[in-house]
Amino acid sequence: MTSGNDFDVLQEPMLFSALLRPHRALGRKGFLVLMGFISAVSFGAGMAFLLMGAWPVLGFFGLDLLAIYIAFKIYDRRARATEEITVTPSEIRVRRVSPSGDVVEWAFNPLWVQIDQVCHAEFGIEQLFLVSRGRRVSIARFLGAEEKASFIKALMEALQAAKRGPTYNPVS
């Protein structure tokens, strides 16, 4: 592969790559089923109150339904965020995309990076950080404690491989 300057570009081996996304409890079909169920219950209860003469309650059931719909739409929007972490022998890159599409990236030298974690005796790993030369970046925020433990193990193995450096096999 050549670039515009006709210099050969060496592709470094990928030691680790993870694309993290928030957990989504409901897909589109599940959301529609849930909203249909809540609508039916709200309408039924509202009609019962209307028949008893408490007609304003029907409007409050409608407001409750609207509030639940808005809450799920906000939840769905926030679930669009991603975090990508890659490790090569010369770089650790963290690329975070917000729900609105804003991108923030950090790059670290794997020789200088340390992984810091905040643990709770009962709940396990609560937070993970990459720390290097005064910078501290939170990573894997979407994962649960058990997932973070598995993630940190794989990331540590990749960091160790990067710190060992490349291995050369002499050609016979």
Q: What is the pLDDT along the chain (172 residues), one digit of tens a residue?
A: 444 454 444 577 888 999 998 887 778 898 899 999 999 999 999 999 989 998 888 889 989 999 999 998 888 888 888 999 999 988 999 999 998 889 999 999 998 999 999 988 888 888 999 999 889 999 998 888 889 999 999 999 999 988 887 666 666 5
Residues 74 and 85 in one domain: no
Residues 126 and 51 in one domain: no
Residues 85 and 61 in one domain: no
CATH code of the domain containing 110? 2.30.29
Per the structure block, which two tokens stand in for 25?
């409890």
Distances from the Cα of 107 to the Cα of 73, 76, 92, angstroms: 33, 29, 6
Residues 109 and 128 in one domain: yes
Alpha carbon distance 157, 119 (integer Å): 20
Residue range of the domain that includes 107:
16-22+81-164
Number of domains observed in the structure of the chain: 2
Residues 137 and 148 in one domain: yes
Residues 69 and 91 in one domain: no
Residue 38: count of CB within 10 angstroms of its CB: 16
Alpha carbon distance 111, 123 (integer Å): 31
Please report where in the chains the tokens 């957990």 appear, as a residue. Answer: 23
pLDDT at site 164: 84
Residues 47 and 62 in one domain: yes
Residues 132 and 144 in one domain: yes
User: Does residue 73 form part of some domain?
Assistant: yes
Residues 85 and 148 in one domain: yes
pLDDT at site 170: 66
Residues 42 and 105 in one domain: no
Residues 87 and 157 in one domain: yes
Q: How many residues does the chain have?
A: 172
Closest CA to 145 of 123, 167, 168: 123
Report the amino acid identity of residue 13. Answer: P
pLDDT at site 172: 57
